[in-house]
Every structure is written in structure tokens, then in C-alpha cells.
């Protein structure tokens, strides 16, 4: 039986400011966050870390993204560069073709006066991230469109997200993680352009020419169960792949879930993602979007990243089928209070299987929360089809081939999807 409350007495007074990109040092007792009542609009609650976070936000009480004040986690965790290097050495990268790395930036104009970055011709701005803008470019070489994230390195280096790290660390971590990945339900990183002699830094990404998953949804009907089921299957497939590779996305929400013109959902924006050396996915900093924050993250203490991703998946599903958020207050504090204390409200007449799935995903106790494996085999998710197949990625294939050559072949059947 899935739970509907999680140590409520423990969590009544929410003292976490993690959605600003910093964490208040844990105290012996948690106190309410003062002065937050009217400072933030609901627009803030539905968006990720604001772009103007700086060192002044800390008030001298922060902790690092992985390290406690006593360095306890420091001894157990390797930084993302080390983890990437180990995976490269052990053949644990899922890309057959590495991400292209370009060390030269040439900024010019084409014959029509359109700005160019190397081979890419600028067309229009299509979005903004926490630290930079996203622009649509067309390649003069292959004629394809690409979404390019553009940053100023000097700006990234000035923005401090923890006492130990700047926004540049977040961007480099995003690049490192995306260099590992190749999956049909994840946006692909094509090229990184970083000229050491200029202030410009670019990530060239696959352009998903479609929409985001909840585009067109309106209360109280959302996008419909059938479409929501189809989208959820793709999201879960991509998220299972990430978690299998010890990667936590950290900001699962409709805005970061893009639908291609053929109806395939791709997970994007790894700006706050984390990679781990092993299954220990403990985190302290929770820089995602407030309304998608899991109850355990509201404590400001350590939590498990994979379970928080699963909670955000539940909020996303709720929004897809009902067109509204289950826990949204008028202020940040009010939103956190609802996340921690309020039971999930579902309309009468909702599909019983969907109700069971939503309650499982939005269980406030992370230890009892439904796992992605259980979601993949849930009756509502299967519908009239099959369980979500496991994706046998490039690095897993290599690993199994090595084991078979050593005489230690695996038993069992795994569906290969490309």
C-alpha cells in the first residue's frame, strides 16, 4: 500500500532555500524561512534557478553540492571529471561517435547579414536557460537545424552556486554528462565550441522540431490519458537509462520534455544534473523547479536524487492528465508546505489504475515511493501494449561482450531498442 504522508511532524517547518541554487547549512532544528511570503510570483515557482544568483545569496551558510561541512561526502565521491575519465577508460560511454570538440570560434555574417558562428547561421532565439540563451541555427554544411546554447564564460565564472563552485562548473558538468549519453529519448549533444581565446562557449544540440509535452493542455482535462500514457512511456524509458548509468536529471518537468514531429519524447536540459561513481546518489543541493520539488528535498538535508526524479515524474504525469499542479501555493513557503503536508487530491471518477500510479509516484516517503521498474510494468502504463522495454546501450553491449569473451556470459533476455 502506498503512503500519503511522510514523517509530517519532522517536516512541518520547512527551512530549505535550495531552489535558489544554494543550500542553508543544516541546523539542529529546522525553522521556517522568513521573509519569503510575497517575494516570489507563481512564475518563479514554475521555473528553475533564476539567472542572477550570485555569491551574495549565501550569507556565509552554504554547503557544497556533494560535500557536507565536515567533508564526509567528499571522501566518498569523485568529481564529475574523474567519473567521466574512469568511464572512458573502462569503455562505459554510450556514444559510438564522440561529441565533436571545436577550439576555434569564428563569428561572421552571411551574404544576407545573418550572424554566423563557424558553420552555423543564426535564425532566431528559441529559449533561455539558467545561465544563457538558446538560439536556433542552421548549418551551412548539412542544412539541418540545431539548437545552440550560448554562454559567456566570464559571466559563468562570476555566478557562484556554492562556496566551492561557479555556474561554469554546472555547465561543464552538463557537457560532461551529455558526452556520455546516447538514447532515443534524450536530446543529443552534437558539438562543443570553446575557443580559449574568446569569451564565448557554445553547446550545439539536436533540434527537436515539435512541442513540449503539455502544450495544449488545459484544466481540468490535460492532454488525455492515451497521449499522457504514450509520453510517459518515453520519459520513463529515458529516465531508466539515466538512472542505470547513475545519472540524476534533477529537473524533470514538462518544459524539459520535448516532443518530436513524429511524437517521440526527448528529455532535455541537463543543467542541474549529477553523475555518480556508483549507486550512492546522495545529494544536498536541490536546484530544480520549486513546484516539482520532492518532500524530502524541502528539509535541506541530504536526499536521494533518483527518488526525487521519480517524484518529479509523478508531478509531470499529474499535470499531463489533469492540466494543473497538485501542490502549488501562492508563495514559495506555501508551496513547500503543501508539498510536505497536503495529501494528493484526485478527482472522483478518475481511472483507478491511474489513481494507483499517481499515488505510488507521489508517495511522500521516498523509501516507499514507486520505483521506475515498477512504473514500467504498471497496468496503466502497459495499457494494451507491453511493459516498457529495457534499452541495451552501447556501453552495456560492450560490457556483456567482454564478459562473454571471458566465459562469464549473462543469462536472461533483454530487449534491444534503437
Query: How confident is the model at residue 18, as a pLDDT?
Result: 31
Residue 45 burial (CB < 10 Å; 0-12/13-18/19+)?
Answer: buried
Residue 174 confidence class, pLDDT cut points 50, 70, 90: very high
Specify the pLDDT at position 403. Answer: 64
Over residues 104-150, the pLDDT tens digits come to: 999 999 999 999 999 999 999 998 777 889 999 999 999 999 999 99
% residues pLDDT > 70 (the chain) = 73
Q: Return the pLDDT at 11.
A: 34
Bigger pLDDT: 24 vs 154: 154
For residues 58-69, average pLDDT: 31
pLDDT at 299 over 60: yes
State the pLDDT at residue 46. Answer: 67
Supply the pLDDT for residue 92.
73
Positive or negative: CA dihedral 103, 108, 111, 113: positive
Confidence bin at 27 (pLDDT 50/70/90): very low
Residue 142 known to be catalytic: no
Question: How large is the average pLDDT for residues 267-284?
Answer: 88
Instruction: State the pLDDT at residue 280.
Output: 83
- Computed over every residue of the chain, the mean pLDDT equals 79
* Cell numbers representing residue 184 in the block: 532515443
pLDDT at 14: 30
**Structure confidence by residue, pLDDT tens digits, 153-172:** 999 999 988 888 899 999 99
Instruction: Provide the CATH number for the domain formed by 1-92+209-406 in this structure.
Output: 1.10.510.10
User: Does the annotation place 149 within a ligand binding site?
Assistant: yes
Q: Is the pLDDT of residue 214 over 80?
A: no
Q: Which long-range contacts (CB under 8 A, 24 or more apart) does 322-328 make?
A: 322/219, 322/220, 322/221, 322/222, 322/347, 323/214, 323/217, 323/218, 323/219, 323/220, 323/221, 323/222, 323/223, 324/219, 324/220, 325/46, 325/291, 326/362, 327/291, 328/42, 328/45, 328/291
Q: What is the average pLDDT across 272-280?
A: 86
Residue from 313, 310, 219, 309 nearest 272 by CA: 309
Residues 253, 257, 259, 263, CA torsion sign? negative
pLDDT in tens, 66-115: 333 334 333 334 577 787 778 777 777 788 889 999 999 999 999 999 99
Give the model confidence (pLDDT) of 228-270 as tens digits: 999 999 999 999 999 999 999 999 999 999 999 999 999 999 9
Distances (CA, A) of 80 to 175, 179, 244: 10, 12, 16
What class, spelled out in words, does domain 93-206 have in CATH?
alpha beta
Per-residue pLDDT at 97: 86
- What is the pLDDT at residue 162? 81
Cis bond upstream, residue 180 (ω within 30): no
The active-site residue out of 48, 251, 269, 281 is 251
- Is 414's pLDDT higher than 50? no
Is residue 129 within 8 Å of residue 147, measured between CB atoms? no
Helix (DSSP H) and strand (DSSP E) numbers for the chain: 12, 15
What is the arithmetic mean of pLDDT over 20-47?
38
CB atoms near residue 332 (< 10 Å): 25
Q: Where are the alpha helices (DSSP H) in 202-281?
A: 225-244
Q: Can you give the residue ranges of every domain in the chain?
A: 1-92+209-406, 93-206
Amino acid at each position: 500500500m502506498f503512503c500519503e504522508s511522510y514523517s509530517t511532524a519532522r517536516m512541518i517547518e520547512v527551512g530549505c532555500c535550495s531552489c535558489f541554487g544554494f543550500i542553508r547549512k543544516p541546523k539542529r532544528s529546522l525553522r521556517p524561512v522568513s521573509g519569503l511570503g510575497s517575494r516570489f510570483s507563481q512564475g518563479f515557482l514554475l521555473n528553475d534557478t533564476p539567472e542572477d544568483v550570485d555569491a551574495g545569496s549565501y550569507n556565509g551558510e552554504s554547503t557544497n553540492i556533494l560535500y557536507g561541512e565536515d567533508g564526509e561526502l567528499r571522501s566518498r565521491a569523485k568529481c564529475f571529471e574523474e567519473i567521466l575519465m574512469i568511464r572512458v577508460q573502462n569503455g562505459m560511454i554510450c556514444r559510438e561517435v564522440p561529441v565533436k570538440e571545436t577550439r576555434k570560434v569564428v563569428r561572421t555574417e552571411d551574404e544576407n547579414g545573418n550572424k554566423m558562428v563557424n558553420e552555423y547561421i543564426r535564425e532566431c532565439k528559441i529559449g533561455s536557460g539558467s545561465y544563457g540563451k538558446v538560439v536556433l541555427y542552421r548549418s551551412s554544411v548539412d542544412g539541418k537545424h540545431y539548437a545552440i546554447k550560448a554562454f559567456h564564460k566570464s559571466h559563468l565564472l562570476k555566478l557562484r552556486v556554492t562556496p566551492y563552485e561557479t555556474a561554469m562548473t554546472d555547465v561543464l558538468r552538463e557537457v560532461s554528462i551529455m558526452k556520455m549519453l546516447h538514447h532515443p529519448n534524450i536530446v543529443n549533444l552534437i558539438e562543443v565550441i570553446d575557443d580559449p581565446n574568446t569569451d564565448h562557449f557554445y553547446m550545439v544540440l539536436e533540434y527537436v522540431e515539435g512541442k513540449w509535452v503539455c502544450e495544449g493542455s488545459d484544466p481540468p482535462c490535460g492532454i488525455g490519458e492515451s497521449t499522457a500514457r504514450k509520453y510517459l512511456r518515453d520519459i520513463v524509458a529515458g529516465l531508466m537509462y539515466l538512472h542505470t548509468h547513475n545519472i540524476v536529471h534533477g529537473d524533470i518537468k514538462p518544459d524539459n520534455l520535448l516532443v518530436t514531429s513524429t511524437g517521440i519524447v526527448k528529455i532535455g536540459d541537463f543543467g542541474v544534473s549529477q553523475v555518480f561513481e556508483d549507486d550512492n546518489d546522495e545529494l544536498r543541493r536541490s536546484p530544480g523547479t520549486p513546484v516539482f520539488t520532492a518532500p524530502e528535498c524541502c528539509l535541506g538535508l541530504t536526499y536521494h536524487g533518483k527518488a526525487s526524479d521519480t517524484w518529479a515524474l509523478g508531478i509531470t504525469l499529474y499535470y499531463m492528465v489533469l492540466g494543473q499542479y497538485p501542490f502549488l501555493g501562492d508563495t514559495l513557503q506555501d508551496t513547500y508546505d503543501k508539498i510536505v503536508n497536503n495529501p494528493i487530491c484526485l478527482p472522483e471518477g478518475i481511472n483507478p489504475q491511474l489513481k494507483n500510479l499517481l499515488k505510488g509516484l507521489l508517495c511522500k516517503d521516498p523509501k516507499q515511493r514507486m520505483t521506475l521498474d515498477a512504473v514500467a510494468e504498471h497496468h496503466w502504463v502497459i495499457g494494451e501494449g507491453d511493459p516498457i522495454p529495457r534499452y541495451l546501450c552501447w556501453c552495456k553491449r560492450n560490457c556483456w561482450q567482454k564478459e562473454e569473451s571471458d566465459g562469464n556470459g549473462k543469462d536472461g533476455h533483454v530487449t534491444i531498442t534503437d
